[in-house]
A and B are shown apart, each in its own frame.
Chain A
């Protein structure tokens, strides 16, 4: 049995492309789209997969990362899916890829204008855990009524002395829509302002949104409590990088641990080129 290029039929891809174009036209706005059942479960990247399917051309070079790594099982599964259904070239090198699908990370290597970064999004609505009803949150976005979010951030500071959101840190896009950048660590937030096109796909929740190149993206904060993209205060134990996001790895039964780059391509490239100290 053979499937259409990149699995989805052309009508479906056209429907998704329309949603993407609308998203690009209104940065940060969540566009409803008729998400399809994919042959992988909801919650496992079906939104990203549909967006990638709608963007891929036969000449593209595709990269998939999950938690920054190309070799995590679900990244492998998605990469294989497109190798099989689209026959596109795949790579683990950030610089070689034209389309990168990601879950929970933005690559450390700066992206360029000829690249598309596709995010897998579990809950696209930044206000969801403040207001569970979609009918209400859509109204709040429409009226630019974001007081609830500011109150939440303020209460964090009152209780904990800082904003207690470490990932999926909310941003405001072009001074208009509050957007969930997907569960990337807040360390990655500054990288949301990028020359690359960034597309966000939430399959189960049936939403697509976008950040066109060079869109202004502001991480919410207060003047006296400015946004702080923190990370573990260590260098990478493998490549010595001081500027990359680190995973903590437990290395022995005594709970000994080490810190290594979560972006495996970044780490490997640094070691190859001898940048590792």
Chain B
């Protein structure tokens, strides 16, 4: 006699134990420390901070460890933690013009005040596996030239175009932006909200959207006007003091694209801008974000909507969040016996009717 399946509780406990065991891996291999992850997998840490919307390298490293290196799972852990945090206030906008840059490049000018700073980049490395890294105890070479600088703030490259009036000026607006984490997403979305969604959006998704514009789905002729990565101060007005104080420093990647624009009914020919800003060194994401931002601006610039996915704000914003996407995608693993049963009965009934209808005439023909 069939007995209704029981044992969900025991199964869950056993699965969690097994998971913990798998996470640890072979016990004769030393356990990863949080500081090792933070220092040696820093780009993974950066991505988790960016898409988790929480700047905390230690917690991001912990999330990566706990998630066994599954980035979206780590991002999810950070988001779930973040949402429980009390909010003390709002910082002043960061001043990326005052950034102390580790990296700063422009693809539009050969040389410019402050110069091009290549910084710690994979660009121009040959992608050959470095087997020396497999040898335990390998010590990295000392940085001979360059290295972290405390150089003077560098002007934004786009300022030079601005001065000539060739670049569309961004309107000054001090309205506090809407907060995606405290209000439901609502359309039409203004540009700050779009940028907010893109900044937390899945790197792969934003990259693909940006790539699609380069391949002709709403091509917007971008040049990397400037990509800069470095440290900026975060300051906050303290009411008791009556002035702003620096709370600390964060590393961000900022990308401004300069896009060709031949003008529309409402706007004269000029260069326009796409903008990307991401926590940590996340330049692929920052550039992608700038391209998608520019594609989404078609309406405000009076461009044609060519029906490209990257132009569709509702499509892009509704599907960019990987924590939402993965949750809903993976929920189809949950039992659906009841819905499936009702479908089963429906299909059987429709099939029986279809069979009757098709066998009927055939018999008549024979």
Chain B nearest CB from A121 CB (Å) reads 12
A185 adjacent to B341 (CB under 8 Å)? yes
Q: In whole angstroms, what is the CA distance A214 to B349 when docked?
A: 33
Interface residues of A in 69-109 (CB under 8 A from B): 69, 71-77, 80, 103-105
A248 adjacent to B344 (CB under 8 Å)? yes
Q: In whole angstroms, what is the CA distance A69 to B82 when docked?
A: 33
The number of residues on chain B lying at the interface, defined by a beta carbon within 8 Å of a beta carbon of chain A, is: 49
A42 adjacent to B342 (CB under 8 Å)? no
Q: In whole angstroms, what is the CA distance A135 to B317 when docked?
A: 13
Q: In whole angstroms, what is the CA distance A103 to B331 when docked?
A: 12
Known: A67-B337, A160-B350, A184-B338. A41 touches B186 (CB 8 A): no
Chain B nearest CB from A67 CB (Å) reads 5
A161 at the interface (CB under 8 A from B): yes
Q: Which of B79, B181, B345 gathers the greatest number of chain A CB atoms within 10 Å?
A: B345
Q: In whole angstroms, what is the CA distance A56 to B323 when docked?
A: 26
A248 adjacent to B341 (CB under 8 Å)? yes
Q: In whole angstroms, what is the CA distance A42 to B345 when docked?
A: 29
B329 adjacent to A43 (CB under 8 Å)? yes
CB contacts (< 8 Å) of A33 on chain B: these are 184
CB contacts (< 8 Å) of B12 on chain A: these are 73, 76-77
CB contacts (< 8 Å) of B84 on chain A: these are 3, 9
A44 adjacent to B338 (CB under 8 Å)? no
Chain B nearest CB from A3 CB (Å) reads 7
Interface residues of B in 303-335 (CB under 8 A from A): 314, 318, 323-324, 326-331, 334-335
B346 adjacent to A166 (CB under 8 Å)? yes
A67 adjacent to B335 (CB under 8 Å)? yes
Could you give, for residues 8-44 of chain B, a 1 whenever the CB lies within 8 Å of some chain A CB and a 0 otherwise? 1101100000000000000000000000000000000
Q: In whole angstroms, what is the CA distance A231 to B338 when docked?
A: 11
CB contacts (< 8 Å) of A74 on chain B: these are 334-335
Q: Interface size for chain A: under 10, 10 to 19, 20 to 34, or 35 or more residues?
A: 35 or more
CB contacts (< 8 Å) of B151 on chain A: these are none
Known: A37-B80, A167-B342. A134 touches B323 (CB 8 A): no
CB contacts (< 8 Å) of A77 on chain B: these are 12
- From B9, B182, B327, contact of A204 by CB (8 A): B327
CB contacts (< 8 Å) of B76 on chain A: these are 37, 41
Interface residues of A in 100-137 (CB under 8 A from B): 103-105, 122, 133-135
Name which residue of chain A comes closest to B86, CB basis.
Answer: A9
Chain B nearest CB from A142 CB (Å) reads 14
B342 adjacent to A186 (CB under 8 Å)? yes
Q: In whole angstroms, what is the CA distance A206 to B84 when docked?
A: 18
Chain A nearest CB from B337 CB (Å) reads 5
Name which residue of chain A comes closest to B345, CB basis.
Answer: A232
Selected interface stretch from A20-28, A193-201, A260-268? A260-268
Chain A nearest CB from B210 CB (Å) reads 22
Chain A nearest CB from B220 CB (Å) reads 23
B344 adjacent to A204 (CB under 8 Å)? no
Chain A nearest CB from B98 CB (Å) reads 32
Chain B nearest CB from A200 CB (Å) reads 15
A32 adjacent to B184 (CB under 8 Å)? yes
A249 at the interface (CB under 8 A from B): yes
Q: 24 A–B contact pairs at CB < 8 A?
A: A3-B84, A32-B186, A33-B184, A35-B184, A37-B79, A37-B83, A42-B326, A42-B331, A43-B328, A46-B327, A67-B335, A73-B335, A76-B8, A134-B318, A135-B187, A167-B339, A186-B342, A206-B185, A246-B341, A247-B337, A248-B341, A251-B2, A260-B4, A262-B338
**Cβ-closest 6 pairs across A and B:** A42-B327, A43-B331, A41-B327, A166-B342, A43-B328, A206-B184
> Besides A71-B7, A164-B346, 16 other CB < 8 A contacts?
A32-B186, A34-B181, A37-B323, A39-B80, A41-B327, A71-B9, A76-B12, A77-B12, A122-B328, A133-B314, A162-B349, A167-B342, A186-B342, A204-B328, A247-B338, A262-B341
A-side interface residues toward B, CB under 8 Å? 3, 9, 32-39, 41-44, 46, 66-69, 71-77, 80, 103-105, 122, 133-135, 160-162, 164, 166-168, 183-187, 204, 206-207, 230-232, 237-238, 245-249, 251, 258, 260, 262, 264, 267
